[in-house]
Amino acid sequence: MAEIKVDCRGETCPVPLVEVRKALRKAAPGDVIEVVGTHPASKKEIPMAVEALGLELLSVEGTDTDWTIRIRR
Amino acid sequence: MADRVTIVLHSGDMDKIYSALIIGNGALAMGMEATIFFTFWGLQRLRKDNALSLPKGGLEKGPLSKMHMLGLGKLMIEQRMDKANVASLEKLMADFKELGGKIIACEMTMEIMGLSREDLREDLIDDYGAVGTYIQEARESAITLFI
């Protein structure tokens, strides 16, 4: 199972959400996506998208302006 | 009810194209389907960028809906957007297409404006249609917007 890194630091709405979705589409079931970012709203919204997609949210760490989110496809 | 967003993009204003593409991308990112129906002034944004054409064609060529001030306002907003690292409309459109978003061009607008398919960016357009196409999409959409 691969671990895929997505770097969205400095990116703003809607790029972090879109980049996570693009990475998830390319990932195989079981792969882990780790996304780092600095956009505050995305820290809340990426977990919302993960739930809507029925995937597993592994962790949300860091501050609103410097966070790491891990997702299992 | 399908998990779909259908947007009618009537405006060709730059800020409103941003709204349509951001909402469309958000929907796709969150697992919904998305369709944008380009009509009237919105369709001008799907025209090939041709310096001689009036009104101007091209995705990035729309005026601001407010405070355009002969382009000065747009220039100022573009600088602020650049500073905030906002994605270009071309990138948002490429992402929208990559995530499976659908673009429909309004055939009646093409007739009124004297546009043929060759005048438009056919690589971006999935389908050509009229109001019936919109209604069929919208009746199966959880969200439909007119921008």
pLDDT of residue B57: 84
Report whether pLDDT(B25) > 80: yes
Exposure letters B100-119 (e unless 16+ CB within 10 A, then b): ebbbbbbbebbeebebeeeb
| Alpha carbon distance A62, B65 (integer Å) | 38
Tokens of B123: 């690589």
Mean pLDDT of all residues in B99-119:
95
Mean pLDDT of all residues in B51-75:
87
Would an 8 Å CB–CB cutoff place B76 in contact with chain A? no
Residue B112: partners with Cβ closer than 8 Å, 6 or more residues away:
none
Please state the pTM of the whole predicted model.
0.93
Would an 8 Å CB–CB cutoff place A8 in contact with chain B? no
Q: Which amino acid is at B105?
A: A
**Which chain B residues touch A42 with a CB distance below 8 Å?**
none
Report whether pLDDT(B51) > 80: no
With 0-12 CB in 10 A as exposed, 13-18 as middle and 19+ as buried, what is A13? middle
Give me the total of CB pairs closer than 8 Å, taking one residue from chain A and one from chain B.
Answer: 41
> Residue B1 — pLDDT band, cuts 50, 70, 90?
low
More confident residue, B22 or B1: B22
pLDDT of residue B35: 98
Would an 8 Å CB–CB cutoff place B26 in contact with chain A? yes
Nearest CB neighbour to A20, from listed B29, B84, B85: B29
Under DSSP, is residue A66 helix (H, G, I), strand (E, B) or coil? strand
Nearest CB neighbour to B85, from listed A10, A14, A22: A10
- Report the residue count for chain B: 147
Report whether pLDDT(B55) > 80: no
Element (H, E) at A49: helix A40-52
Taking each helix axis from N to C terminus, what angle separates B14-29 and B89-98, rounded to the nearest 10 degrees? 30
- Average per-residue pLDDT for chain B: 93
- A25-53 pLDDT, tens digit per residue, is 999 999 999 999 999 999 999 999 999 99
Q: How much is the ipTM here?
A: 0.90
User: Could A21 and B29 be called an inter-chain contact, meaning their C-beta atoms sit closer than 8 Å?
Assistant: yes
User: Could A20 and B84 be called an inter-chain contact, meaning their C-beta atoms sit closer than 8 Å?
Assistant: no
Nearest CB neighbour to A49, from listed B30, B85, B92: B30
Under DSSP, is residue A71 helix (H, G, I), strand (E, B) or coil? strand
Of A1, A2, A13, A53, which one is the catalytic site residue?
A: A13
